[in-house]
Amino acid sequence: MDSVIIPNKQYFKIGEVSTLTELETYVLRYWETEFKSIRPVRMGSNPRLYRRKDVETILEIKKLLYDEGFTIAGAKKKILQ
């Protein structure tokens, strides 16, 4: 996987994260339910906002699942290490 340059900003909308990570928005939403380390900020009915740390975690999960062949359960264990 090519290294991704994450813009220097505090928050990212889901569409921005989708573009940066080359993942569909539904995948990001699903991963939120599976990986507790992805915790976008939500203020009332406003859209979710991902922090830089969330984007870095998403990229690590993508690498584990897509490049290294981990299962979701295996990736969860690896992320917690």
Q: Is 75 exposed, middle or buried (0-12, 13-18, 19+ CB in 10 A)?
A: buried
- Segments forming the whole domain that contains residue 36: 11-80
Is residue 2 pLDDT above 80, yes or no?
Answer: no
Query: Each residue of 44-66: pLDDT tens digit?
Result: 888 899 999 999 999 999 999 99
pLDDT at 33: 96
Query: Each residue of 13-23: pLDDT tens digit?
Result: 999 999 999 99
Is the residue at 2 inside a domain? no
For the chain, how many structural domains are there in total?
A: 1
Is the residue at 53 inside a domain? yes
The enclosing domain of 36 has a CATH number of: 1.10.1660.10
Amino acid type, 14:
I
Percentage of the chain surpassing pLDDT 70? 98
pLDDT at 45: 83
Is the residue at 57 inside a domain? yes
Is residue 41 pLDDT above 70, yes or no?
Answer: yes
